[in-house]
Amino acid sequence: MNENSIMPTGKYKGFRMEEIPAHYLLWIFDNRRWGRRRDLLIYIMEREKDLRKEVKRERSNIEFINGLMAEASRQEAEGNE
């Protein structure tokens, strides 16, 4: 299975492997949901380190954006007083 392979099952069935979010692939791995698809397990295992880095980066970006939004809301509330 490579990046051009098609996801065989689940929420992203029919999507190319490279299109599937890292968090979903890690969910499959962490929850042992690869079933009989050994090729899917191998695909994830070969990329696990990079997938975990991507998820960590995405979480950092979300936390940063949430912080900006909270600060903007706080400033707006102060301006309305």
pLDDT on residue 47: 96
Each of the 81 residues of the chain gets a pLDDT tens digit; together they read 777 799 988 899 999 999 999 999 999 999 999 888 899 999 999 999 999 999 999 888 788 788 888 888 888 888 876
CA distance 14 to 18: 12
pLDDT on residue 21: 95
- Closest among 56, 26, 54 to 40, alpha carbons compared: 26
> What is the value of pTM for the model shown?
0.69
Question: Tokens representing 73?
Answer: 């809301």
Residue labelled with tokens 């299975």: 1
pLDDT on residue 40: 92
